[in-house]
Each structure stands twice: as C-alpha cells, then as structure tokens.
Structure 1
C-alpha cells in the first residue's frame, strides 16, 4: 500500500460515490475547495494498491484553536473500499503524521459507517472538547426507488394531509438556483428561522461562497451540485431550502421558513418537492440530514425536528433511520488536550 497525494478530481469523487451510501459529499473534492475559499487548509490523500487503484481516501480540514494549535477534521470520512485492519492502520498513520505537522491537538473523524470499525483499538475516544463542532451521526433516509404514490401512501397521515392542503391553497414550489433575488430571500428566511428556533447558521458570506462553488455557472452538469427551492404563497416566498445532490443521494442541507401564513403548510410541500427533485435526479436516497440519537429523551433539542422528518417515511417500507458510529477523536497532543478540557470545565462552572 502507498500514500498518494497527487489527486485526480474525477477519480476521487467517483471513489467516494461508489464507497459510501448515502454518498459522502463532505469528502468530495469540491467541498475541500469550498473550505479553502473560507481560508482553511486542506490535506487530501489516497491509500492505493499495487496497480495504483484507490483503496481508501481522506480529506482533512485544518481547523484553528487557541495558542497556535489546530485540530484535523475528517467529516464523513475516511471512506474505504473494504474495512480492514491493515488499511485502517495505514490511513490513521498518515492522519497522525499530518496532525503532527499541523501542530494539531487531535484528529476528529466521523466515518460514514454503521459498524465495522472498532476505533478504540486505534486509541480513538469519544469527544471531550469542541462538542459543538460535531456532525450528526443519525439520519432518516427516504427510499427513492419507490414510486411517488408509494412514498405518499406510506408517509404519516398528517404529512400527507399537509402536502395536499398546501397544493389546494395554491402554494407553488419552484427551483430558483441561479436567481439572485431568491437567494437573497433565502438568506432573509434562514436568519428569521435561526432567531425563531435558536439555532446557529452560516453568515451570508459563507453562503455566498457556497453558492459560487455549487450553484452557479454550469451547475446542472456538476456532481456534487446544490439546488435552491422556494415555496410561494399569495405572491410571497415563505420557505426556501438548499438541497445537495451527489452520488446516490440528495441531502436536506438547509431549510428556512417564515412565521407568516403557517396554515398554508408551505414547508411541508417544499420538503416533498425536495424529495421529488432528488428522485428526478436519479438518486437512490433522500437524506434528511440529522435527527436525535436512537433512544434520546422526548425533550431532546432535536426531538421536534426528528418527529417532523420521520413522518415522511414508513420505516422498513419507504425508508429507514440510519445510525452511524459517530464522531471520534485521536488525541495527538495530550498536554494541550488536557489544557483545553480543563478550560472547558472552568468555563462551564462560570456559566452556572
């Protein structure tokens, strides 16, 4: 096995699409370029076989910390053709080498697998710091191999009713990916949604760079690409969403809505149209992108959104809940990791 750092764009993306399901767009070449545009350093490498074929890939983003330290983030990666001890050891050895070079405190991975990796064997542990910087490990996948009638028939009665009611009231959903006024309206609505629901969202500048990378130019020929859908009622855009399309999946990346005319059920029809658009694009899954963990309490902060998303499938028939192995850290610098951990505890005490 060899480490290869001269990466072919198309070969890289094809490997990820073929060896992760739902396809891991956060490991695509374009996502790395997007992160570069935000000022972050990127490391990409592939582990190759005797004939130069890819066996595993990892794209690591160098994130800054205090005191001149960093951490490596390998989100929805590494991606491997076959999970084997020899291959895993090779990947982690290279990540450790990069981490030391970048003055990293830890290496954070979030593999796109439900099982098969015994990460404690390789000295990985559950995160103790930077807990807000973790991607969701649980999601709902809608099975797009089913017909639209099957999907509608098997979703929760309330969701089906809301979709039909929105249509009856004259709600219109349109794709407006390259439309600047629609993008501006999305930014306005995502800000309103963040304030209403108490969530953090990207600043406008980051959305604009995302748009440049995934939504402008000849975007329809790209993989990955993103589309912008808007929901209009009585001449006003009241909902908007960004859907990521890559490999076998469409992903519910961002959704925003107004508090106005809630009884028109614009968000319900917008979500259904996002599912339809992903199906029309030939995708196998629509990834709802984040639900509460299995067995979570009813008062979990994501309980409401989990109920909303889960109503669009009938488990085992038109979709499934997917629970991956989650986020794990490999500590590279124990001294500074302890320092950050203690600082976190002190900060928590002062907040009480």
Structure 2
C-alpha cells in the first residue's frame, strides 16, 4: 500500500507525532513553521501514513521566489519511523505540489557520523562524508539550508563523565568561571540575548532575519509540547554570552547566540579586567540544563565543512569542539518537480554567492 500524506490541523497532535519518531528534529515542530510565516513562508503539515498506521509527520514550507515560482522545503524533515520510507514519499509529494513549485528539498533527520579522524581539511571532506547516501530514490544530494555539519553531545551519561569528557581547556575555563562567580542558566531576558546576538552578528559579519522572526519563534515554539528557551552566562549581573534553544522530544538545538566583549573597567587596583570565561560557562551550563530537562541529545548547530582559520566559523568550531568531538552530517536532498528546477537551483546559488560577497567580501558560505 502506498504512503499517504494526510493534512493535520491539530498542533499538539502533530508535535506529539513528530516527537515520537526515531528520526526527527525540533525544526519539524509546529511553532517553527509558525515563525517562518514572518519570512513570508507558508507552512503545511501532514501525517505520514502507511497501511493505516502513522509512520511519520511532515512540515513543508512553501517559499515564494517570484510571482509564479516557488519551492518546497522540509526543515530537518520529514520526521519518520524509518528514513527508508523517504523514496516512497516521492509520488505523494509530487501530487500535492503546485505547478509553480520548482523543486522540493528535504533534510532527513538521520545523524550520519563523520568518517575521518582529521577534521575539516579540504582533501578530507569527501572521505569524511563517505557514508552519506548520494540519493534516496528520486531524491538526490543537494545543498542544505540548515547547517549540514554539526557536533552532537550525548547527555545520557552522568554529569561527572560529561565533565571529564570535555577538553582540558574547557574544564579549566569552567572552573575559572565558577571561581569568579559567573552564573549561567535559563534566563527570560530577551533584550540581553538580543544584544549578544546582534553584537556577534555585527562583529562576525553574519546575516540575520528580522527581529520579529526570533520573537515569534520564542513565543510560538514554546507551545504544544515543544519549547524555546534562553541560556545566558552572566558575570556580576552582566550578560556576556548566551543562546536561543528549540527543543522537542529527546533533542534540543542551540540555534542562535554568541558572546560580547567585556568592556567594563577593571576592578580597583587591576590593570585590566580578568577574563571570566563566560562562553565556556554558557556551553557547559546549557548542556547541564538540557540534561536536567530530560533531553538526551544536545545539538551545537553548525561547524564548517572545511576549516579556514581566517573565518569567524573557525573560532566557533574550536570552541564547540572543546565540549564534544562527536561530529555528524545532516545532508539535504532535492526532488525535482519542474523542468525549471535546474536553472532555479543555479540562480539561487548565484544569488547566495552575491549576497555573501556584498556582506563579507567573499562568495564563501559561513560554514
């Protein structure tokens, strides 16, 4: 019996099914789709059924490019009982597509371990991805929209084992932060987070969506069984590092954040202010918080495909690597729906390079 896609308009039930799948992601949550409306994208939700049983859920975003032309996108989805079902979805997806939809992009939430021991060198990229399938039936490997290379941490281990697994520099910095009185944990100060996030983006020449998008995700992602939350790292009350998280089921994602320079004057009798190691305290306490709230997988969300010490992403990668060395790939796949799919993909890639060059002086992506 073929796989069917049945529309669903019950947010709680949809999230329940998404959370229950072995291959799933918080980006398939109802609230994430609601936030994308701010960007002009239209979410559609379906239950995936086979032989009368529910075997998954799918959130699709229709993204209008120009009048009469659009694409479909499943952010880190679909959520499935088994990714082997993906090829069977192609006929149903073709039936629901409009004539204006050029192609459909999926990002199956199957974490594929990085294969090589050496991280990120250009000549190792192919070997590093040797276990990544080139296709799933009619779906063929394509560029991702979300970061395809990331670091995950297994939070099911005891706290002392987690701590001993950190890089020695991370352990030392966490202890320094504790001695200096740094406080890190869940925090409802969105303005403090926004200051950190905005300053980080400006300093690193990163792009960002309008603030309304993050505010909407913060509100809508905190409903129907999923949750959004902030973790901030403060020294003497000043927020110096922090992040925005989206969690559902067993996983939580560190989606947005950063750190700011501590430009406060030094204490009396000191030449300069001592580094409180707030970013290290942020990462460690975010992991502990996630563990305490029942998450077993912590996604650090994005490291570069190829290392380049001149890029901001290199420093971010080295920081994340201190807290876990378990690297994974989340590749994307396209289902071509129209004869114009190929030129549309090429045009979007060219546009992305142009935007990168205008904003940072290079055509390369951040990651």
CA distance in 1, matches of 2:205, 2:166: 28
CA distance in 2, matches of 1:345, 1:207: 27
Report the equivalent of 1:72. Answer: 72
The Cα shift of 1:267 comes to: 1.3
1:65 aligned counterpart, secondary structure: strand
Report the equivalent of 2:93. Answer: 95
1:188 pairs with 2:188: no
Report the equivalent of 2:126. Answer: none
Q: Which runs of 5+ in 1 are unaligned?
A: none
RMSD value over aligned CA atoms?
A: 2.9
1:34 pairs with 2:35: yes
The Cα shift of 1:47 comes to: 2.6
CA distance in 2, matches of 1:89, 1:119: 13
CA distance in 2, matches of 1:274, 1:24: 19
Note closer, same or farther for the CA distance 1:339–1:110 as it changes in structure 2 (3 Å cut).
closer
CA distance in 1, matches of 2:6, 2:92: 11
Asked whether the equivalents of residues 24 and 112 of structure 1 are also in contact (C-alpha less than 8 Å), the reply is: yes
Asked whether the equivalents of residues 21 and 80 of structure 2 are also in contact (C-alpha less than 8 Å), the reply is: yes
Q: Spell out, residue by residue over 1:160-211, the C-alpha distance to the aligned partner (whole angstroms, 9 max, x if none).
A: 111111111111224223xxxx211211221110011121123211122122
Asked whether the equivalents of residues 20 and 112 of structure 1 are also in contact (C-alpha less than 8 Å), the reply is: no
CA distance in 1, matches of 2:353, 2:76: 29
Q: Which runs of 5+ in 2 are unaligned?
A: 113-130, 264-273, 358-362
Count how many residue pairs are aligned between Structure 1 and Structure 2.
326
Q: Spell out, residue by residue over 1:288-347, the C-alpha distance to the aligned partner (whole angstroms, 9 max, x if none).
A: 111223xx344484332222111113x5xxxx22223x0122222223632662686599
CA distance in 2, matches of 1:235, 1:344: 44
Of the candidates 125, 129, 135, which is equivalent to residue 120 of structure 1? 135
Asked whether the equivalents of residues 60 and 74 of structure 2 are also in contact (C-alpha less than 8 Å), the reply is: yes
Asked whether the equivalents of residues 71 and 99 of structure 1 are also in contact (C-alpha less than 8 Å), the reply is: no
Q: Spell out, residue by residue over 1:241-274, the C-alpha distance to the aligned partner (whole angstroms, 9 max, x if none).
A: 2122211122212222211258111111011111
CA distance in 2, matches of 1:24, 1:290: 15
Report the equivalent of 1:4. Answer: 6
The Cα shift of 1:151 comes to: 1.2
Note closer, same or farther for the CA distance 1:71–1:122 as it changes in structure 2 (3 Å cut).
same
Q: Spell out, residue by residue over 1:102-160, the C-alpha distance to the aligned partner (whole angstroms, 9 max, x if none).
A: x1111111111246995636343343xxx6x7111222111111122111112101111
Asked whether the equivalents of residues 243 and 257 of structure 2 are also in contact (C-alpha less than 8 Å), the reply is: yes
Asked whether the equivalents of residues 4 and 46 of structure 1 are also in contact (C-alpha less than 8 Å), the reply is: yes
Asked whether the equivalents of residues 233 and 282 of structure 2 are also in contact (C-alpha less than 8 Å), the reply is: yes
The list of structure 1 runs, each at least 4 consecutive aligned residues, that deviate by more than 6 angstroms after superposition, is 346-352
CA distance in 2, matches of 1:176, 1:337: 45
Report the equivalent of 1:267. Answer: 279
CA distance in 1, matches of 2:295, 2:111: 21
1:205 aligned counterpart, secondary structure: helix
Matches within 5 A, 1:219-230: 223-230=225-232
Richer in helix (by share): 1
Note closer, same or farther for the CA distance 1:259–1:81 as it changes in structure 2 (3 Å cut).
same
CA distance in 2, matches of 1:137, 1:24: 13
Structure 2 length-normalised TM: 0.79
Asked whether the equivalents of residues 166 and 323 of structure 2 are also in contact (C-alpha less than 8 Å), the reply is: yes
Matches within 5 A, 1:1-352: 1=2, 2-20=4-22, 23-36=24-37, 38-50=39-51, 52-84=52-84, 87-101=85-99, 103-114=100-111, 120=135, 122-127=137-142, 134-177=145-188, 182-215=189-222, 223-260=225-262, 263-293=275-305, 296-299=306-309, 301=311, 302-313=313-324, 315=325, 320-324=326-330, 326-335=331-340, 337-338=342-343, 341=346
Note closer, same or farther for the CA distance 1:345–1:184 as it changes in structure 2 (3 Å cut).
closer
1:282 aligned counterpart, secondary structure: coil
